[in-house]
Structure 1
Amino acid sequence: MELLERLIAVFAEHGYMAVFIALLLCGAGVPLPEDITLVAGGVIAGLGYANVHVMAAVTLAGVLAGDAGMFLLGHHYGERILQWRPVALLMPPRRYAKMQEKFARYGNRLMFFARFLPGMRTAVYITAGATHRVSFWRFLLLDGVAALISVPLWVYLGYFGANRREWLGTWIHRGQSSLWMLAGALLLIALALWWRHRRRRRQRH
């Protein structure tokens, strides 16, 4: 919670731009927890320093911009990006090889679920770009759908818990599990709708 309080102080003083820049740094692999950053943005809205709906839009833009930046770097430089010292520290060759294996096995699903896996997002997005197995727009669609689930949840959690820090701390710890449950439920619904659509098409033929 100490980090949360520091972020709240910085964001309250510098507003939306500070939140946006912090999220770009999160996307670049800086060891700044994205969920805590989003919650801090929600808290300053709850304290009256920002509009919560605008904050949700700004944070969503910051998250997607950071993710897209990593994807495009990987896409432009390919495996050469592994020679960059910051990237090499984040993703040594062995880890890159494992990411490639995961892409071969899970495909697009990995990009969707990476948003719910702290510590893996940047590596997944760089690999997604470097492997050239997915277009930028498909990446942005999958990442955007996942972000629409996770980002508002954290921001509004901070907003409603702005004046109840103990309650907020409890739900921050529970939040990641809640996101997994929500993402899993949405995936099941999507699969059910796809199966139903496919079944109707077969019946027509």
Structure 2
Amino acid sequence: MELLERLVTLFAENGYLAVFIALLLCGAGAPLPEDITLVAGGVITGLGYGNVHVMFGVGMAGVLVGDAGMFLLGHHYGARIRQWRLVARVLTPERYAKVQEKFERYGNRLMFIARFLPGMRTAVFITAGSTHRVSFLRFFLLDGSAALISVPIWVYLGYFGANNHEWLAMWIRRGQNGLWLFGGLVVLVVLLLWWRHRRRVACETGPR
């Protein structure tokens, strides 16, 4: 909670712009948890330093612009971007291999799943852009759909828990576990639908 308190102080003094910039840094792979940043944005609105609905919009904008920036950098510079010093710290050879394995397993659906994979999100988006595995529009729709789930949860959690730190800390832990569970359920549903589609196609194109 120490980081949360620091962010609350920073955001209360500097407003929406500070939240937006912090989320851009999250998207760029800075060691700053996106969920805690969004919660802090919600907390300051609960303390009267802003409007929670505006903060939700700022949160969505910061998350999507940050993610899109990483995707477009990868798309523009291709494999060369992995040679950049700052990118190399985020996208290590081991992490790149892990992302490639997940692409082979989940395909473009990984763009949605990545929002629920802390520590992997930036690497996934850079890799997706550099390998041209997915169009920007498809990436934006998948990432945006996932953000519409995670962003309001954290922002409004911070808003409702602004004056009760113990309650807030408890629900942050539950929210983190819940999002992991939700992400896992989404993956299972997607895989089930994909398997049923493949089975139906196989039946339709099989020997008659």
TM over 0.5: yes
Q: CA deviation at 1:96?
A: 1.4
Q: Take 1:188 and 1:58, find their aligned partners in 2: how far apart are those partners? A: 31
Q: CA deviation at 1:5?
A: 0.4
SS at match of 2:63: helix
Q: 1:91 to 1:191 in 2, by over 3 A?
A: closer
Q: How does 1:33-112 map to 2 (within 5 A)?
A: 33-112=33-112
Question: Does the 8 Å contact 2:102/2:110 carry over to 1?
Answer: yes
Q: Take 2:183 and 2:126, find their aligned partners in 1: how far apart are those partners? A: 22
How big is the alpha-carbon RMSD for the aligned residues of Structure 1 and Structure 2?
Answer: 2.2
TM-score when normalising by structure 1? 0.89
Q: Deviations over 1:114-135 (max 9, x none)?
A: 1011111000110110110100
Determine whether 1:151 maps to 2:151.
Answer: yes
**Which consecutive aligned stretches of 4+ in structure 1 deviate over 6 angstroms post-superposition?**
187-195
Q: Take 2:177 and 2:18, find their aligned partners in 1: how far apart are those partners? A: 28
SS at match of 2:116: coil
Question: Does the 8 Å contact 1:47/1:162 carry over to 2?
Answer: yes
SS at match of 2:13: helix
Partner of 1:32: 32
Partner of 2:161: 161
Could you tell me which runs of 5 or more consecutive residues in structure 1 were left unpaired when the two chains were aligned.
Answer: 200-205
Q: CA deviation at 1:173?
A: 1.1
SS at match of 1:162: coil
TM-score when normalising by structure 2? 0.88
Q: 1:190 to 1:126 in 2, by over 3 A?
A: closer
Partner of 1:139: 139
SS at match of 2:26: helix
Q: 1:51 to 1:143 in 2, by over 3 A?
A: same
Q: Take 2:182 and 2:107, find their aligned partners in 1: how far apart are those partners? A: 21
Q: 1:191 to 1:53 in 2, by over 3 A?
A: farther
SS at match of 1:134: coil
How many residue pairs align between the two structures? 199
Q: 1:105 to 1:182 in 2, by over 3 A?
A: closer
Could you tell me which runs of 5 or more consecutive residues in structure 2 were left unpaired when the two chains were aligned.
Answer: 201-208
Q: Take 1:185 and 1:50, find their aligned partners in 2: how far apart are those partners? A: 34
Question: Does the 8 Å contact 1:100/1:131 carry over to 2?
Answer: no
Q: 1:191 to 1:131 in 2, by over 3 A?
A: closer
SS at match of 1:115: helix
Q: CA deviation at 1:106?
A: 1.0
Amino acid corresponding to residue 90 of structure 1 in structure 2? V
Question: Does the 8 Å contact 1:75/1:129 carry over to 2?
Answer: yes
39-48 or 98-107, which moves further after superposition? 98-107
Q: 1:24 to 1:77 in 2, by over 3 A?
A: same
Question: Does the 8 Å contact 1:149/1:183 carry over to 2?
Answer: no
Amino acid corresponding to residue 130 of structure 1 in structure 2? S
Q: Take 2:193 and 2:42, find their aligned partners in 1: how far apart are those partners? A: 33
166-175 or 98-107, which moves further after superposition? 98-107
Amino acid corresponding to residue 88 of structure 1 in structure 2? A
Q: CA deviation at 1:113?
A: 1.1
